[in-house]
Amino acid sequence: MVRSTVRRVGLGVYTNGDSTGRSYRSRHTEVARSRQTPMININPFTPDSLLIQTANLQRNNRKRSHWNDSCGEDMEASDAECEEDIIPPSKRMTLLDSNMVSRYATEFHELEKIGSGEFGSVFKCVKRLDGCVYAIKRSKKPLAGSVDEQNALREVYAHAVLGQHPHVVRYYSAWSEDDHMLIQNEYCNGGTLADVVTENYRTMHFLSELDLKDLLLQVARGLKYIHSTSLVHMDIKPSNIFLSRRTMVCVDDFDDDEGPSTNVVYKIGDLGHVTRIDNPQVEEGDSRYLANEVLQEDYRNLTRADIFALALTLISASGAEPLPTNGTKWHEIRRGKLPPIPQVLSQDFLSLLKLMIHPDPARRPSSSGLTKHPVLLTASRMSADQLRVELNAEKFKNALLQKELKKAQQAKAAAEEKVLTSDRVLTRSTLQSSRNSRLIGKKMNRSVSLTIY
């Protein structure tokens, strides 16, 4: 006689010890459970509160699923509680798992290649459905299973969490094709700050102090937003600052604290090195803009590392020689010495830049403090006032043109009226002459000749 053993399987369904003798309900439950557990990624930059809410929602859904699968049979509380609260790493989706038919070729029309970097190439594309222009970044090589895959996913995670801000490049979507990552971002028609710096250095025509202050203020606003989400950029440099040139400017469309003060809007992009403040996983960026404390793996003031890099970005934009990657000059900058700047800047502005590269990161201003700094606020008001003057001048020109146009229209109308009047007078004169010619001799006596014989 074969001894039959009984054991618990799945969600309260009993069966024999022989695996081939499992009930239909057990197999059905396992298949249903596998279908209800899709592979998803957990965004490491998502606020903890949202992760907790997601875990609770998953737990509640599993409890309801357990109850439905048991069909009213007895179920112990431990059966639901022993389930994992979040999806384990083995269930995370990789780039290889998300391959699909070419979305790039189907949804977008490529116009031109606009950039290339360490990650890959960037293309200017028109989306066939909405007719709008976007920047599509595509990795140079297959990323699935490589170290670069996590960097690519980090950029997507950061973009998705940050959302939309006037001084951060806007993110729309991301997907993979043939193990390559593609990211659909906002298209910035002004290129990068690195392009501007290169052209200015070639022509020896540099940004003025007012322009530099405006650049600093706008990027500081973007960093303030990033830091407010407990994230740090960790790779601020000219090639990661993008420009959007506005064809029409209206100062009243923006708040004084967040909106642009000129017709050039600076936006922070390339978030491949973003990490969390409270649990940093630091990938060192460009050594030319890297703060010394990061090199020493001191992560207590990571947000101030962004401030250090921003100061050197401003120095590059001011026309200074290319920054050193190492050596004596590199260490002098880390000791708080400003590189030579080939233009005269105010002492207040130079003092601010020097404070931003202070060897003690705690002494550097925060991004929030920069947005309220008197030197930059003065520049912002001056830029806004200058724009208002220019707008008023344009309005005055338009008013003059409107006045001249009105005069021209009145002169034209008067000339047309004069012509019509002359035509009417001429017509009346002609009619009168014709009438008079018919009336000649009407009242005159006719001569009668009488001959009497």
Which of 298, 308, 285, 301 has the alpha carbon at shortest distance from 355? 308
**Which whole-number Å values give the CA distances from 133 to 61, 111, 311, 328, in the listed order?**
41, 9, 32, 45
pLDDT band (50, 70, 90) for residue 451: low
User: Which of the pair, 160 or 253, is modelled with greater confidence?
Assistant: 160
User: Which of the pair, 186 or 413, is modelled with greater confidence?
Assistant: 186
Query: What pLDDT is stored for residue 254 in this prediction?
Result: 47
The answer to whether 267 is annotated as binding is: no
Q: Is 53 exposed, middle or buried (0-12, 13-18, 19+ CB in 10 A)?
A: exposed
Q: Where are the alpha helices (DSSP H) in 289-342?
A: 292-295, 302-317, 328-334
Query: What pLDDT is stored for residue 88 in this prediction?
Result: 46
pLDDT band (50, 70, 90) for residue 199: very high
pLDDT at 266 exceeding the cut of 90: yes
Query: What pLDDT is stored for residue 409 in this prediction?
Result: 82
pLDDT at 12 exceeding the cut of 60: no
Q: Say if residues 122 and 133 touch (Cβ distance below 8 Å).
A: no
The percentage of the chain sitting over the pLDDT mark of 90, rounded to a whole number, equals 43
Q: Which of 191-195, 208-212, 438-442 has the lowest mean pLDDT?
A: 438-442
| Domain over 94-187 is classified CATH 3.20.20.70 | no
The answer to whether 222 is annotated as binding is: no
The answer to whether 308 is annotated as binding is: no
Q: Say if residues 179 and 99 touch (Cβ distance below 8 Å).
A: yes
Query: What pLDDT is stored for residue 234 in this prediction?
Result: 94
Per-residue HEC secondary structure of 427-445 comes to HHHHHHHHHHHHHCCCCCC
Length of the chain: 453
Query: What are the tokens at 442?
Result: 């009407």
User: Which of the pair, 90 or 193, is modelled with greater confidence?
Assistant: 193
Query: What are the tokens at 183?
Result: 């990211």
User: Which of the pair, 55 or 192, is modelled with greater confidence?
Assistant: 192
CATH of domain 189-431: 1.10.510.10
Per-residue pLDDT averaged across 400-409, rounded? 80
Give the other-Cβ count within 10 Å of 191's Cβ. Answer: 17
DSSP classification of residue 192:
B
User: Which of the pair, 295 or 382, is modelled with greater confidence?
Assistant: 295
User: Which of the pair, 93 or 284, is modelled with greater confidence?
Assistant: 284
Per-residue pLDDT averaged across 407-429, rounded? 79
User: Which of the pair, 369 or 401, is modelled with greater confidence?
Assistant: 369
Residue span(s) of the chain under CATH 3.30.200.20 come to: 94-187
Q: Say if residues 183 and 171 touch (Cβ distance below 8 Å).
A: yes
Query: What pLDDT is stored for residue 439 in this prediction?
Result: 55
Farthest CA pair distance, the chain: 179
Query: What pLDDT is stored for residue 183 in this prediction?
Result: 94
pLDDT at 167 exceeding the cut of 90: yes
From the CA atom positions of the chain, what is the Rg in Å? 38
The answer to whether 445 is annotated as binding is: no
Q: Which residues pair with 231 in a beta bridge?
A: 276
pLDDT band (50, 70, 90) for residue 394: low
Residue span(s) of the chain under CATH 1.10.510.10 come to: 189-431
pLDDT band (50, 70, 90) for residue 380: low
pLDDT band (50, 70, 90) for residue 400: confident
Question: Using one digit for the tens of pLDDT, what is the confidence trace for 303-337?
Answer: 999 999 999 999 999 999 999 999 999 999 999 99
Q: Which amino acid is located at 160 in the chain?
A: A
Question: Using one digit for the tens of pLDDT, what is the confidence trace for 333-374?
Answer: 999 999 999 999 999 999 999 999 999 999 999 999 999 999
User: Which of the pair, 259 or 342, is modelled with greater confidence?
Assistant: 342
Active site annotation includes 235: yes
> Which pTM does this prediction carry?
0.65
Question: Using one digit for the tens of pLDDT, what is the confidence trace for 42-61?
Answer: 777 666 655 555 555 555 55
Question: Using one digit for the tens of pLDDT, what is the confidence trace for 49-99?
Answer: 555 555 555 555 555 555 444 444 444 444 444 444 444 444 455 555 555
Query: What pLDDT is stored for residue 169 in this prediction?
Result: 95
- DSSP output for 73-116: ----HHHHHTS-SS--GGGPPPTGGG--S-HHHHHEEEEEEEEE
Average pLDDT for the chain: 77
pLDDT at 170 exceeding the cut of 90: yes
pLDDT at 7 exceeding the cut of 90: no
Q: Say if residues 219 and 376 touch (Cβ distance below 8 Å).
A: no
Question: Active site residue: 235, 252, 253, 255, which one?
Answer: 235
The answer to whether 17 is annotated as binding is: no
Question: Using one digit for the tens of pLDDT, what is the confidence trace for 93-133?
Answer: 555 555 556 899 999 999 999 988 777 899 999 999 999 99
pLDDT at 435 exceeding the cut of 60: yes
The answer to whether 278 is annotated as binding is: no
